[in-house]
Amino acid sequence: HGTSKINDQGHLEIGGVDATHLVAEYGTPLYVFDEALIRQRCREFVEAFQASGLKFQVAYASKAFCVMAMCRIVEEEGMSLDVVSDGELYTALQAGFPAERIHFHGNNKTVDEIEMAIDAKIGCFVVDNFIELQLLNAIAGDKRQKVKVLLRITPGVEAHTHEYISTGQTDSKFGFDLGNGSAFEAIKEADSLSNLDLLGIHSHIGSQIFEVEGFRMAAEKMAAFAVHVRQETGVTFKVINLGGGFGIRYVDGHTPLPVAVYVEAITDAIKQNFGSNEYPLPEIWVEPGRSIVGDAGTTLYTVGTTKDIPGVRKYVAVDGGMTDNPRPALYESEYEAMLANRAKEQAEEVVSIAGKCCESGDMLIWDLNLPKVKAGDVLAVSCTGAYNYAMASNYNRIRRPGVVFVKDGQSDIVVKRESFDNIIGNDIIPARMKQVS
Ligand code: LLP
């Protein structure tokens, strides 16, 4: 997919660059991003909304993969950016991302984060709860600014996804509940607070969703709520944000639809439900993360040791693992992989790919068909662009891999591999202990 192909040498090539050359130049493990594919995914969203005729914003959910070069791409593609922490906000601002296109999320924004975001004059806060409403109003007042807000609503739509990552049900740590009236209370309160400019409402029903139905239902519920609010209070929303969650194909059996199908379901539901109520059509915002970067990322590893337990299983260990991709251990996520240096060879054996951490749960892939694997082979795991680098850790004091963007035969390092100095850089040996010279 994307610009990936197998070249004449029988090597995997991404963005016109031979994966074995990338390994020689940058070492492994290495995250490789197909820049053209990221841009294509951005454009699929933007063009689908343009086709709807509605006003819109596509905000990339930076939590999926937030580095400065990625912020540049999002900026160049004319999109907005959703951040959920001071660290993501800082990354975006340092990358020169226009503050007015930044949306700030989170269920527990700190005073420092709120001040930083107001000072930067970001575009909007997505307010999660009553305490934040008051806090934000107070801080905005101190700074003599009026801040734009959306209210995060829990619409009670259960998306069909892995239960650890669904956020749409009533029993959720996020948002104002639609069912028990707290969403309605929050609207009235936000409308009464003089330093807040209430733009509208937000919902996010989960992640890695394939069914159109969940998005349609959420759009309908949000529209119905907007109409109800207007009848009862006169408050008119300019914006309805339907969050992210658009699924991607990691392995066979994952069946995402083209992005345009989800967008059309959402925009149709909005048109139908607002048009008939003399309600000015609101802007529609979405926040895709995974579907922008997920399938553009490939992780390259070098194969090291193997352990063959006859009649049971063959373990093949690579030089990374749960430190660069914790998703299999956390969510039992599945991935596909191939040998990048022997991409044309037939599969000969079934192996399971283990990481190098001192922990049995550090497995990347179970039961993978590969040619007969040997030490030094390059394993390419696909679809690692979302929530891999973003969730990477230094467990076992393993250094985080570097990140490379490839495009038109050119590779550029966008995050350096961590150094040993990065590993001990914040360590301090107290003065009362024997010092090292
Ligand atoms: N908007 C909000 C409010 C969100 O909470 C999320 C994801 C998104 C947008 C983007 O969702 P996406 O389009 O990427 O599905 N670490 C998990 C995923 C957690 C998603 C959390 N929120 C994973 O690795 O699968």
Q: How far is the CA of 248 from the centre of ligand 1 (A)?
A: 12
Q: For position 378, what pLDDT does the model report?
A: 98
Q: For position 161, what pLDDT does the model report?
A: 59
> Is 183 part of a structural domain of the chain?
yes
pLDDT of residue 165 exceeding 60, the answer is no
Shared-domain flag, residues 329 and 225: no
Dmax over CA atoms of the chain, in Å, equals: 77
Residue that finishes a domain, picked among 293, 309, 331: 293
| pLDDT tens for each residue of 244-290 | 999 999 999 999 999 999 999 999 999 999 977 789 999 999 999 99
Q: Which residue's CA is minimally distant from atom 24 of ligand 1? A: 387
Tell me the helix, strand and coil percentages in the chain, rounded to 5. Answer: 35, 25, 40
> CB neighbours of 64 closer than 8 A, spacing ≥ 6?
289, 290, 292, 293, 294, 385, 386, 387, 390
pLDDT of residue 409 exceeding 90, the answer is yes
> Is 44 part of a structural domain of the chain?
yes
Q: For position 53, what pLDDT does the model report?
A: 97
Q: Which residues are known to be catalytic?
A: 358
**How confident is the model over 2-8, as a mean pLDDT?**
97
- Determine if residue 320 is labeled as part of a ligand binding site: no
Q: For position 180, what pLDDT does the model report?
A: 87
- Determine if residue 290 is labeled as part of a ligand binding site: yes
- The atom of ligand 1 lying closest to the CA of 152 is 3
Two tokens, residue 399 = 């250094």
Count of structural domains within the chain? 2
Ramachandran region of residue 175, left (φ > 0), alpha (ψ -120 to 50) or beta?
left
> Is 435 part of a structural domain of the chain?
no
What's the mean pLDDT when you consider all of the chain? 96
Shared-domain flag, residues 263 and 407: no
- The atom of ligand 1 lying closest to the CA of 291 is 13
Size of the chain, expressed as the number of residues it contains: 437
Test site for ligand 1: of 84, 85, 287, most ligand atoms within 8 A of the Cβ: 287
Shared-domain flag, residues 285 and 339: no
pLDDT of residue 20 exceeding 80, the answer is yes
Before 288, cis peptide (omega within 30)?
no
Shared-domain flag, residues 299 and 284: no
Q: How far is the CA of 326 from the centre of ligand 1 (A)?
A: 15
**pTM exceeding the 0.90 threshold for the entire prediction:** yes
Q: Which residue's CA is minimally distant from atom 5 of ligand 1? A: 204
Q: Kind and range of the H or E element at 272?
A: helix 259-275
> CB neighbours of 185 closer than 8 A, spacing ≥ 6?
130, 176
Strands, E assignment, 87-188: 102-104, 124-127, 147-154, 176-177
- Determine if residue 359 is labeled as part of a ligand binding site: yes
| pLDDT tens for each residue of 182-209 | 999 999 999 999 999 999 999 999 999 9
> Is 422 part of a structural domain of the chain?
no
Residue that finishes a domain, picked among 269, 293, 317: 293
Shared-domain flag, residues 193 and 212: yes
Q: What is the DSSP letter of 396?
A: G
Q: Which residue's CA is minimally distant from atom 22 of ligand 1? A: 207
| pLDDT tens for each residue of 209-247 | 999 999 999 999 999 999 999 999 999 999 999 999 999
Residue that finishes a domain, picked among 260, 293, 326: 293
Two tokens, residue 41 = 């995914």
- Determine if residue 101 is labeled as part of a ligand binding site: no
Residue with the larger pLDDT of the pair 160 and 81: 81
How many percent of the chain have pLDDT more than 70?
A: 98
Shared-domain flag, residues 72 and 123: yes
**How confident is the model over 413-423, as a mean pLDDT?**
98
| pLDDT tens for each residue of 304-359 | 999 999 999 999 999 999 999 999 999 999 999 999 999 999 999 999 999 999 99
Please, are residues 208 and 170 in contact by the beta-carbon 8 Å criterion?
no
Q: The CATH number of the domain where 154 resides is what?
A: 3.20.20.10
**How confident is the model over 407-432, as a mean pLDDT?**
98
Shared-domain flag, residues 282 and 337: no
How many percent of the chain have pLDDT more than 90?
A: 93
CA distance 293 to 74: 11
The confidence band for 169, taking pLDDT boundaries of 50, 70 and 90, is low
> Is 143 part of a structural domain of the chain?
yes
CA distance 248 to 258: 10
Domain span at residue 409 reads 5-33+294-416
Two tokens, residue 422 = 């990065």
